[in-house]
Amino acid sequence: MTHPGIAHAAIRAGPASYARPVPVFAVTNVNGPAWDPARGRREQDGWDEHAAYMDALVDDGFVVLGGPIGDADRVLVVVEADDPQEIEARLATDPWHRDGILRIDSIEPWTIWLDGRRSPG
């Protein structure tokens, strides 16, 4: 189905509307060696500390989105960072990364062209 008004607005906006002030990365985390497969994600050791740490990263504007994906053995975290080294450094102090419950599997630059989230205001 064609939506002329939407397509026309996208054409008027042009490529500059896709630019973001800070690069965005898709970070995939996987269960680390200290992960206990007999327990759920929120029952793992240090859940409260990990959750508080991640909430602080959201409050800082570093984490944009995050949560388990697929079969829940992986976690996708979308972050705004200058480079992969910043991501590694910030996640290294997360209690779950530090203690081996999670580990980074991949860090990939992500060019977001579509974003349906509403900005404040």
Which tokens sit at 44? 């793992």
C-alpha 58/C-alpha 73 separation (Å) is: 22
Percent of residues, the chain, with pLDDT higher than 90: 69
Say which residue the tokens 């607005």 belong to: 9
C-alpha 56/C-alpha 53 separation (Å) is: 5
Say which residue the tokens 């008027």 belong to: 12
Which among 102, 104, 56, 63 is positioned nearest to 81, based on CA atoms? Answer: 63
pTM: 0.79
Q: Cβ–Cβ contacts within 10 Å for residue 111, how many?
A: 9
Is CATH 3.30.70.1060 correct for 19-109? yes
26-69 pLDDT per residue, tens: 999 999 999 999 999 999 999 999 999 999 999 999 999 999 99
Where along the chain do its domains lie? 19-109
